[in-house]
Amino acid sequence: MSAHPADMLPLMEEFYSIQGEGYYQGHAAWFIRLGGCDVGCVWCDVPESWDASRHPVTSIDEMASHAAASGTRIVVVTGGEPAMYDLGALTARLKEKGLRTHIETSGAYALTGTWDWVCLSPKKFKSPESSVFGAADELKIIVYNKSDFDWAEEHAARVGPSCKLFLQPEWSREKEMLPLIVRYVQQHPQWSISLQIHKYMNIP
């Protein structure tokens, strides 16, 4: 957990883009990417986010102001692993500005803050906290190997009945895994397919 003041967080980057994955795919969103992660996914898109000390500690007021100025309705807090930090003050500031608060988390830490949408994307490298399953609005499983389908079902059994279920091919294995995912979703229609459409569009 962080040693800095509650109104300061390590900020790797912030930017306006399109949500490329999951239930809100295709929606405009402001992204706040916090530095720091100890989950250690071997296929992580942003391993440079892992070391929080590499990223400037930034005030939550500044982050919220930048988000509001973008004109967006949706703010996605991601990482790294954003739930490493107490996010109560950040979400309160974003809410004060009338913004929707979304988080993308591995579930490795219990959630703090007030969230309109919780995307749980568990990883095999560090198991999710049990409390996060009940809070998840969306379960997004990254499919790297055939064995990940069974692993996906184990986690789907732990989320609430209204949670949206997504299977997403790991980007470097997409050609191999996507045909398997298509067949699986046809046979198990409670699942949907998530693709990283921002990569197809060559945007952040």
Residue 2's pLDDT is: 46
Place of tokens 């942003």: 46
Q: What is the DSSP letter of 143?
A: E
Indicate the burial class of 84 (C-beta count within 10 angstroms; 0-12, 13-18, 19 or more).
Answer: buried
Residue 204's pLDDT is: 81
Residue 4's pLDDT is: 65
CA atoms of 38 and 57, how far apart (whole Å): 18
Tell me the domains of the chain and their CATH numbers.
8-200 (3.20.20.70)
The length of the chain, given as a count of residues: 204
> pLDDT averaged over the chain?
92
98 preceded by a cis bond (ω within 30 of 0): no
Residue 124's pLDDT is: 85
Contact yes or no for 115/101 (Cβ under 8 A)? yes
Residue 60's pLDDT is: 97
For the chain, list residues with pLDDT below 50: 1-2
Residue 42's pLDDT is: 67
Residue 134's pLDDT is: 97
Please list, in sequence order, all residues whose beta carbon lies within 8 angstroms of the beta carbon of residue 152, skipping any fewer than 6 positions away: 139, 141, 143, 165, 167, 191
CA atoms of 59 and 42, how far apart (whole Å): 31
